[in-house]
């Protein structure tokens, strides 16, 4: 299997200048080719593919006004066109919207293949740089990377992601199974009644973030003070993201380590965040990212992830007798079954039903990963 290992690194002033130039060239090539392809279609009904786009890039390099494109490696420029072609493929297949222009105010990245970097004796060198990158190797690489992606986030931090071949090791088989019901009051509740709680990282930094955003709104556009204020806001957002991901990784790893089969509910998160009252809370909970982590960690560890149908009435169905309540508003956290008089905690009852349905489908060979 292939796995990406992400590390933070601290570039030298010369490397900062080279990376800024590389990011700028990648962004310029992507935006200029995108504009050229768009105009060609609307003006002449001409469809441009990757081969024509690559030829256009070669022509741009030969023009005197764009000679600075030769100051960086050609590999990330060509890869930006490959990414653009992939974006068009997703658009024509109906999986994504039309490709948009890249902005210098957001995350910047450049992808390097084996011809544009060297990895020797635990040191990583990029093309056009004489010194190695000062990477904080938190863990050793399992093999020589085939692809390296260098990125800079809005907070000004530099990261390198190394794509390597690795052999996953399956965990010992266990008889434990679990069903989980995700929510907002608790990130998830298991069928045994365990509740994780919800850290609510966005709410934790809401006052500090609001203060910095008000200060940013008063700064003059294009000034250095505005750039510094924008960096402070970006650092708060980065802190929120890091805290959220750290919590999700710990919880997902714990579930995979302790259970052979994990049963979850399929949710259309993109549709759920359209609710204006709950969209911020649903986004902060990151249910989609949580299930994604469970999926690939289960594959690496030899576990099974079972996703039941999204329309399965897990909360309204009595886990004791199977009675389905006609209506169960969100503010009702506990209810009693009118058939068997069993008292239920809404979330625990849903987790039990999810586990029952998931194991039944898994036994029949109908396990479907989300």
Active site (catalytic) residues: 181, 265, 347
The answer to whether 243 touches 201, Cβ cutoff 8 Å, is: yes
Write out the two tokens for 212. 């910095």
- E strands of the chain, at which residues? 2-9, 108-113, 117-120, 123-126, 147-152, 158-165, 177-182, 188-190, 261-265, 304-308, 334-336, 343-345
**Beta-sheet pairing, 117-120 with 261-265:** unpaired
Q: Nearest Cα to 297, choosing from 170, 206, 153, 120?
A: 170
**Biggest alpha carbon–alpha carbon distance for the chain:** 82
SS3 6: strand
The answer to whether 334 touches 312, Cβ cutoff 8 Å, is: no
The total number of residues shown for the chain amounts to 370
Q: Nearest Cα to 181, choosing from 333, 342, 296?
A: 333
Token pair 């006004």: residue: 65
Centre a 10 Å sphere on the Cβ of residue 277 and count the other Cβ atoms it contains. 6
Instruction: Look up residue 317 and give its DSSP letter.
Output: B
Centre a 10 Å sphere on the Cβ of residue 32 and count the other Cβ atoms it contains. 15
Residues 6+ apart with CB under 8 A from 193: 345, 348
Residues 6+ apart with CB under 8 A from 187: 196, 197, 198, 199, 247, 251, 285, 290
Alpha-carbon distance of 49 to 331, in angstroms, equals 53
């Amino acid at each position: 299997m292939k796995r990406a290992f992400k590390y933070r690194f601290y570039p030298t002033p010369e490397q900062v200048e080279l990376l800024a130039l590389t990011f700028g060239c990648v962004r310029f090539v992507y935006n200029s080719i995108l504009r050229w392809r768009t105009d060609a279609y609307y003006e002449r009904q001409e469809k441009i593919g990757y081969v024509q786009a690559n030829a256009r890039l070669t022509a741009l390099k030969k023009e005197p006004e764009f000679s600075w494109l030769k100051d960086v490696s050609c590999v990330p420029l060509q890869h930006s066109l490959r990414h653009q072609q992939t974006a068009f493929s997703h658009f024509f297949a109906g999986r994504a919207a039309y490709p948009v222009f890249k902005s210098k105010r957001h995350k910047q990245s450049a992808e390097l293949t084996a011809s544009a970097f060297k990895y020797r004796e635990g040191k990583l060198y990029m093309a056009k740089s004489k010194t190695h990158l000062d990477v904080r190797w938190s863990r050793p690489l399992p093999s020589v990377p085939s692809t390296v992606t260098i990125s800079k986030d809005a907070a000004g931090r530099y990261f390198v992601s190394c794509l390597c071949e690795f052999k996953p090791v399956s965990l010992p088989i266990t008889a434990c199974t679990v069903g989980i019901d995700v929510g907002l009051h608790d990130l998830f509740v298991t069928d045994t009644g365990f509740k994780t709680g919800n850290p609510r990282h966005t709410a934790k930094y809401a006052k500090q973030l609001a203060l910095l955003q008000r200060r940013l709104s008063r700064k003059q556009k294009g000034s250095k003070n505005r750039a510094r204020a924008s960096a402070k806001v970006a650092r708060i957002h980065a802190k929120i993201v890091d805290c959220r991901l750290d919590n999700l990784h710990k919880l997902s790893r714990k579930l995979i380590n302790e259970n052979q089969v994990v049963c979850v509910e399929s949710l259309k998160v993109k549709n759920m965040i359209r609710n204006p009252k709950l969209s911020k809370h649903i986004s902060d909970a990151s249910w989609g990212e949580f299930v994604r982590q469970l999926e690939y960690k289960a594959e690496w560890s030899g576990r099974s992830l079972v996703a039941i149908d999204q329309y399965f009435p897990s909360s309204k169905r009595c886990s004791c007798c199977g009675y389905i309540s006609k209506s169960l508003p969100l503010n009702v956290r506990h209810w009693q079954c009118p058939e068997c008089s069993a008292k239920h905690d809404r979330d625990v009852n849903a987790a039990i039903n999810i586990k029952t349905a998931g194991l039944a489908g898994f036994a029949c060979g109908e396990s479907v990963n989300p």
